[in-house]
Copies of this chain bind each other. A is one copy, B any other.
């Protein structure tokens, strides 16, 4: 079996989904960073001379909101629309329990014989409340080979920030009467997502009220145009068609290219600080100086390229 990282990268670039599991193994092996670099070198947008086709969608929200059930029906909907889908489920890990909670999480249901779907769980590994660099790299590697790449994370409030640096579109999923997300939004602490999804619409009144409350909160923080959709994942599913449409509309929005440039710069800055520490950032003259340095780079530069620029400057 060929597991040469560059070859895996080439196969993904050419849309060969069968290279995905081995490529993810390379990326998750954090002790051989060079292998990941050569893999990404082949798939990076700069090398391709264009943006990857996949729509990278972040699905985030508190535990119990129904993210896995929603993804089960949403993946089916995408498959009916002839879209291939990869789901990267980022698993929160507890410091006290010391490990990942993989065993406990709800499963995303899919047909295991369907090679148009890939589901992969990874532990967030120490980076509390954050997305590991590995998740960003995995999304980047899979982007040329799948139509939709989903990054699923657990979080409320500030943890969405990292998702933003990785995803084209961020959807926050809440269950009806889940007041804390509403409070974070109202307090202006939570970054406003691109889309809010209220699950368990089959609960009727309570779901409608949640939707109304979220709409009001969005208006109060100056984002009245963010869609709030209500869905039900229990058979017969409801609102899934509308959700897929809303996501497609977000994928086609005019400022997506601009957002991807900003996100790559944001990811480079965050990963540089995590790898080399705040001290290295101070050596560059502080966060703002580092941001200015990144803004001078080519808009098509990959995160790997941008990281190299920051590293060369220290």
Write the residues of chain A forming the contact surface with B, with a CB cutoff of 8 angstroms.
Answer: 62-65, 92, 94-97, 101, 104, 126, 128-130, 154-159, 161-162, 175, 177-181, 183-184, 186-192, 273-280, 287
B92 touches A189 (CB 8 A): yes
B129 touches A189 (CB 8 A): no
The oligomer's copy count stands at 2
Among candidates B129, B179, B189, B277, residue contacting A275 with C-beta atoms closer than 8 Å: B277
Q: A189 to B62: give the CA distance in the assembly, Å.
A: 10
Known contacts A188-B94, A188-B97; A62/B154 CB under 8 A: no
B161 touches A158 (CB 8 A): no
Q: A184 to B96: give the CA distance in the assembly, Å.
A: 14
User: Which applies to chain A's interface (DSSP): helix, strand, loop or mixed?
Assistant: loop
A186 touches B64 (CB 8 A): yes
The residue in chain B whose Cβ has the minimal distance to the Cβ of A187 is B63
User: Nearest Cβ in chain B — how far from A76, in angstroms?
Assistant: 25
Sample of 17 further A-B pairs with CB below 8 A, known A62-B180, A63-B184: A63-B183, A64-B179, A64-B186, A64-B187, A92-B157, A94-B188, A96-B191, A104-B187, A126-B287, A128-B130, A155-B158, A156-B156, A178-B179, A178-B180, A179-B179, A179-B180, A277-B280
User: Nearest Cβ in chain B — how far from A104, in angstroms?
Assistant: 6
Among candidates B96, B154, B274, residue contacting A192 with C-beta atoms closer than 8 Å: B96
User: Nearest Cβ in chain B — how far from A121, in angstroms?
Assistant: 14
Could you list 26 examples of A-B contacts with CB < 8 Å? A62-B179, A62-B183, A63-B189, A64-B179, A64-B187, A65-B183, A94-B188, A101-B188, A104-B188, A126-B287, A128-B162, A129-B157, A154-B187, A154-B189, A155-B158, A157-B159, A177-B179, A178-B183, A179-B179, A180-B180, A180-B181, A273-B277, A275-B277, A275-B278, A276-B276, A276-B277
